Amino acid sequence: MPSEKTFTKIADDFRQRILSGELEPGAKLPTNREIAGSWQVAAATVSRALQALQVEGYIRTTPRGTYVADDPVWTLSARDRLDRVQRVKTFLAEGETSRVTAAELVTPPLYVGEIFDLNTGDQIVRREWLAGRGKTRTVFAVTWYPAHFAALVPDLLNISPGRNHGLSARVLEATGRTITHARDDMHAREADAREASALGLAIGSPVLAGAHRWSDSEGVIEYGEWCLPPRFTIGYEYQP
């Protein structure tokens, strides 16, 4: 029997190549025999790995071969977005674009104020944005930053889409901060009216909602809340 480790390694390799943009939508994958040869495994191991990717929506199989899905139903996890911020200074995936619908200084909800350890009445930067790939909407998000960051990075209050993708990296550069702790929390629920409108869904549609918190010893640098359309896949590797 193929080892679980080999099966997952093959799936992870192709998944990451698709997420990174190395394998673009519509790209043809090597044949099962070629993959088996390069990995030195049985064809059954390759088939199992590719079946997993097909179920997740990353690839499609036709009589002519296996291809990266033309309109893949996946998006980056918060962990993957942070990885891209640190590697290539953008939190968007290859081929993903964004549109900012709000960028302002506001008095935050109580729970957000507590996350940033703010006093009553203190303000905070709130940015609301939507990302997509082609006609597919991939994520709707709200991200929050300490108010004084806006003086260092004025584009935090700019709704121009061309300025959005690199903001997290520019915040780190301008503040001299380094993210040393990150946490993601996720849960499934129904979309409210605002989320449904942004994602083009009916109110009450199922979504995967989550929040990420990126911080260092001085406190929270970025807090974000986001939701994904139904049947979208996110995933990440970790060391057991």
Q: What is the pLDDT of residue 22?
A: 82
Question: Which CA distances in Å does 170 have to 47, 137, 163, 166, 192?
Answer: 43, 25, 10, 6, 32
Q: Which of 68, 90, 113 is the endpoint of a domain? A: 68
Does one domain contain both 56 and 87? no
Per-residue pLDDT of the chain (240 residues; tens, 9 = 90+): 445 568 888 988 898 788 777 888 889 999 999 999 999 999 999 999 999 888 877 898 888 899 998 776 778 889 989 999 999 999 998 788 999 999 999 999 999 999 999 999 999 999 999 999 877 899 999 999 999 999 999 999 999 878 899 999 999 999 999 999 999 999 999 999 999 999 999 999 999 999 999 999 999 999 999 999 988 888 777 766
Domain presence at residue 40: yes
Does one domain contain both 34 and 102? no
Q: What is the pLDDT of residue 8?
A: 86
Does one domain contain both 61 and 93? no
Q: What is the pLDDT of residue 1?
A: 43
Does one domain contain both 63 and 43? yes
Does one domain contain both 61 and 171? no
Domain presence at residue 224: yes
59 is in which domain, residue-wise? 4-68
Q: Which of 21, 38, 68 is the endpoint of a domain? A: 68
Given a contact cutoff of 8 angstroms between Cβ atoms, the answer to whether 169 and 199 are in contact is: no
Does one domain contain both 10 and 91? no
Q: What is the pLDDT of residue 123?
A: 98
Given a contact cutoff of 8 angstroms between Cβ atoms, the answer to whether 213 and 183 are in contact is: yes
Does one domain contain both 108 and 223? yes
Q: What is the pLDDT of residue 236?
A: 73
* Measured distance CA(85)–CA(151) in Å, rounded: 21
Does one domain contain both 119 and 199? yes
Domain presence at residue 90: yes
Which CATH number covers residue 165?
3.40.1410.10
Which CATH number covers residue 46?
1.10.10.10
Query: What's the pTM?
Result: 0.78
Does one domain contain both 156 and 198? yes
User: Number of folded domains in the chain?
Assistant: 2
CA pseudo-torsion sign 83, 86, 88, 91: positive
Does one domain contain both 39 and 85? no
Q: Which of 68, 87, 113 is the endpoint of a domain? A: 68
Does one domain contain both 64 and 128? no
Tokens of 167: 């903001």
Q: Which of 215, 233, 235, 234 is nearest to 223 (CA)?
A: 215
Domain presence at residue 191: yes
